[in-house]
Structure 1
Amino acid sequence: MCRYLQVWTETYFCVTFLHRPAVLRGVCLGSCQDKWTVEYLGQKGGDKEVKIHVSTVPQMDFLHKNFAYKTLPFNEFVKRASETKHSDFFLCEDESYYLRSLGEDVRKEPADLSKQFPDLAEDFQVPDFFNPDQFFSSVFRISSCGLQLWTHYDVMDNLLAQVTGMKRVVLYSPQDALHLYLSGDKSEVLDIDGPDLKRFPDFVKAKRYECVLEPGDLLFIPALWFHNTLALQFGVGVNVFWRHLPTDSYDKKDPYGNKDPVAATRALQALERALHTLDELPADYRDFYGRRMIQRIQKRTYCDGLSRTHAQKDSDTTLPSSPSTKPG
């Protein structure tokens, strides 16, 4: 059963305090909502070259790389992304396009709308829901209609501002990580609407939360919440990420904001070493001591009881039509 995300009529402080995803409406995003047409974007963005994802199918899969990286002038990219059939194309006439803006030095610098697209940044008002010194990145995203992105998590809190077009977002709680068949920060279950239950039988145990973002909506995505997006129309959005943990918790060489926190990386590396050590034992001993390790981890880290209590309270919430307000 799908659970719909709540549209909040309380302050954003309440949402972040509970650390639950929520749709926020009635927040001023600037003049971008009126201005960002295909023609205006092309004019303001000009012929600046951008690196994009191009795929013959709309369901992009980062694990198996079913897309190609290509480069286009920004104005040509916007024109193609807004079309359903292309007279000029790389792979096929109905190929799908996706832009995730990058920093000038892609290996060191996070994306920042004000630096990569300064003329367009003047139209977008970054929501002031965090201290300016916590800011990490503002990521410009443009998608062809029908484009679906793989399920993954981020390690920072972020807001997804849907400026134009409509987008479906499906989310899963961090407590359902064991049911999502993870490979790094990504789920191996590509088709979340028609999953292969022979390969992924436990996927049905993951509780699905869903919303449809309309132009002007903000979605608060807490850190570690899995999300999958489907562009219902050609659309433009901006993701704003910020550091909600102490700065030294994050990998300093991470321009994308999706590497696990430093302590988590050390813990996972230690686990790998422990598992290699267990390989020195016979199978029945590995099984026994593996179960003991699982028990220790559950006692030290799991918080399912508290999380499930909050989830149950929100489980049958549907989207009301009243707008939300930002904190005064």
Structure 2
Amino acid sequence: MDCQEKQEVPVYTDVDRETFARDICPLRRPAVLRSVPLGPCVSSWTVSYLAQKGGDREVKVHVCPEPRMDFLHKNFVYRTLPFDTFVQRAAEAKHSDFFISENESYYLRSLGEDARKEPADLRKQFPELAEDFHIPEFFEPEQFFSSVFRISSPGMQLWTHYDVMDNLLAQVTGRKRVVLFSPKDALHLYLTGDKSEVLDIDTPNLQRYPEFVKACRFECVLEPGDLLFIPALWFHNTMALEFGVGVNVFWRHLPAESYDKKDPYGNKDPVAATRALQALERTLGILEELPSEYRDFYARRMVLRIQSRAYCMQATQGNLDTTFSQSS
């Protein structure tokens, strides 16, 4: 049984740059933004229009035999298709032409020209379509990092993960459910890197993931033309309720030197965080030289030290108490 606390993501209407900078961004909480002009894309990006404008250029897409994608266990394959063919297949309920099965699902996340070095930019990969999409001017031009074009089959659900940059998810066509979890609930999400091991967030296996129900769930349904502000480090899980097209716009809200320069996807931890995690691994290796009761004692001292120096005390005290009580 899912007994998680749930909260609706607040909705703001007619948000301009000043309102966003003053009233929304500083809260560091997700927000749905409605009636923000995105350009003619909201009405013009039909399947036929996308196929015509995108043409037969080849795109690399995820093909999954089931709608829920699992990045940790790789339950999908990568295949290359002409863009116009891909769009038509992604909009179908069943396929006469397919790779795995007639019920397979498709997902496109656009990439830079050299995916290992260059971030995605709608203006470079799909210039004909970029003319229809107006990036909201909620940040300085030099802060821009990427604009990621996304297309999903109906029912396609992506794994829960976080990003290290602020971003706006523009839902251009179709409806999409988004579930989010606060960074302060990270201890309840069973993380492997930046991803949660809990794939079924609606009916989770509580014998395997008992702490998951302690994470407060924020939820919204994006309608065509909606924007969702996802602050950095907020976990999010998306499900396409219909065939849908969207654009994610990421920007560097920290100083540029905070980010890994060799990160075209914008999902590597900040440089300082990476150094700290590496130092932690070295420290844990040193603790292995001690007998178990000493390791336990000094590990607890280290947790308390981290708590006093780095944690937001009020928000995390309960989490640490739970950790201690379970390991006692």
TM-score bracket relative to the smaller structure: over 0.9
> Equivalent residue for 1:113?
122
How far apart are the structure 2 equivalents of 1:279 and 1:144? 48
Structure 2 residues not aligned, in runs of 5+: 318-328
Q: Hey, what does 1:62 align to over in structure 2? A: 71
| Corresponding position of 1:90 | 99
Which residue identity lines up with residue 26 of structure 2 in the other structure? F
- Once the 2 structures are TM-superposed, how far is the Cα of residue 8 of structure 1 from its aligned partner? 1.8
Deviations 1:34-83 (A, max 9, x none): 10000000000000100000000100000000000000000000000000
Larger RCO of the pair (alpha carbons < 8 Å, separation 6+)? 1
| Alignment TM-score, normalising by the size of structure 1 | 0.93
Aligned residues: 308
Distance of 2:171 and 2:76 partners within structure 1: 24
Percent identity reads 74
Aligned equivalents of 1:29, 1:214: Cα separation in 2: 13
Gaps of 5+ in 1: 309-328
SS at match of 1:149: coil
What's 1:190 paired with? Answer: 199
CA contact (8 A) 1:250 1:262 kept: yes
2-structure distance, mates of 1:249, 1:231: 33
Counterparts of 1:166-181 in structure 2, within 5 Å, are: 166-181=175-190
1:158/1:241 contact within 8 Å kept: yes
TM-score by length of 2: 0.93
Match of 1:323 in 2: none
Q: Please provide the CA RMSD for this pair.
A: 1.1
Name the residue aligned to 1:137.
146
Distance 2:301 2:314 in 1: 21
Cα deviation for residue 304 of structure 1 reads: 4.7
Aligned mates of 1:307, 1:22 — CA distance in 2: 23
Q: Please tell me the residue identity of whatever aligns with 1:6.
A: P
Q: Distance in 2 between matches of 1:199 and 1:213?
A: 31
The structure-2 alpha-carbon separation of the partners of 1:70 and 1:205, relative to structure 1 and needing over 3 Å to count, comes to: same
Contact 1:175–1:304 (CA under 8 A) maintained in structure 2: no
In the alignment, which residue of structure 2 is the partner of 1:53? 62
Q: Which residue, 44, 57, 81 being the options, matches 1:35?
A: 44
Q: Which residues in structure 2 correspond to 1:274-313 (within 5 Å)?
A: 274-305=283-314
Q: In the alignment, which residue of structure 1 is the partner of 2:235?
A: 226
CA separation of 1:261 and 1:27: change in aligned 2, threshold 3 A: same
Which of 245, 248, 270 aligns to 1:239? It is: 248
1:200-223: per-residue Cα shift (whole Å, max 9, x none)? Answer: 110011000000000000000000
Could you list the structure 1 runs, at least 4 aligned residues long, displaced by more than 3 angstroms after superposition.
none
Which range moved further: 2-11 or 245-254?
2-11
Structure 2 matches for 1:136-175, cutoff 5 A? Answer: 136-175=145-184
Aligned partners of 1:17 and 1:306: how far apart in 2?
18
